[in-house]
Structure 1
Amino acid sequence: MHDQHVHVCEPHGEPLRETRDALDLIGEAWGRGATWVAVPAERLHDDFFTLRTGVAGEIAQKFVNYGVGLAIVGDVSRHTAASSALRDWVYEVNRGDHIWFVSDLAELTARRSSRGRG
């Protein structure tokens, strides 16, 4: 992505699961002058998609608290098909300005541009 304001995580690597993983990403974003972090959906641990674990809420809250946007990039349909609670949460956060689930980086760019965050 040629947008210097988005830190795009590599699709390969350790799954993100802990609050400290979120803090590491926020630190990397700040170090690069980025205001958003784009995380491939496959980099998120399955616990993220099981809301009762609290992982998604903890990670999302860190990004909101530190003023860095979080975009989950890729197909999460297998998770949302298995959980109406997750499906509802994805719908709700996508209506806001801090956490988005997008299909690809082009969608992220379009959404940021349409909201004046490009």
Structure 2
Amino acid sequence: MPDEIQQRGGVPVLVCDPAGPSITSEQDAIDLIGAAFLGAEAVAVPAHRLDARFFTLGTRFAGEVMQKFVNYRLLLVVVGDISGPLAASSALRDLVRESNQGGHVWFVPDLDALDARLHSRG
């Protein structure tokens, strides 16, 4: 499945292909943002496509990627199981908890959970 814009919870979302390339640089994030500008309000990225540095906050990679999405007013949604990195980092647990309370970056276990969040956001 290629990356495609889908209506999810009444919102156009660029759903990224699980088999797509890894996101290893700010430029990769900017490329996703560019693809989203074809009509999406959010980008759903499978967690396993994010470079491991994303989940190691000391690298600042997560902050750089997240800030790009905030700057372009796009919701970034990390989709999938991140229990391993969460177990290893209290700072990451705090980031995920705080992000999920806001409207710029969400961490969800699957697309069904994303649909539910988007519906409830109304």
TM range (shorter): over 0.9
Aligned residues: CA RMSD = 1.2
TM-score normalised by the chain length of structure 1:
0.93
Check the 8 A contact 2:6/2:15 in 1, yes or no. no
1: CA distance, partners of 2:74 / 2:13: 10
SS class of match (2:24):
coil
Check the 8 A contact 2:29/2:68 in 1, yes or no. yes
Paired positions, count:
115
* Pairing 1:68–2:74 present: yes
The percent of aligned pairs where both chains have the same amino acid is 56
Moved beyond 3 Å, runs of 4+? none
Q: Which 5+ residue runs of structure 1 have no aligned equivalent?
A: none
2: CA distance, partners of 1:69 / 1:101: 11
SS class of match (1:75):
coil
1: CA distance, partners of 2:33 / 2:101: 22
Higher strand share goes to which structure?
2
Q: 1:18 is matched with which residue: 11, 16, 25?
A: 25
TM-score normalised by the chain length of structure 2:
0.90
Q: Which 5+ residue runs of structure 2 have no aligned equivalent?
A: none
For 1:19-98, list aligned pairs within 5 A.
19-31=26-38, 33-98=39-104
Q: CA deviation at 1:2?
A: 4.4
Partner of 2:113: 107
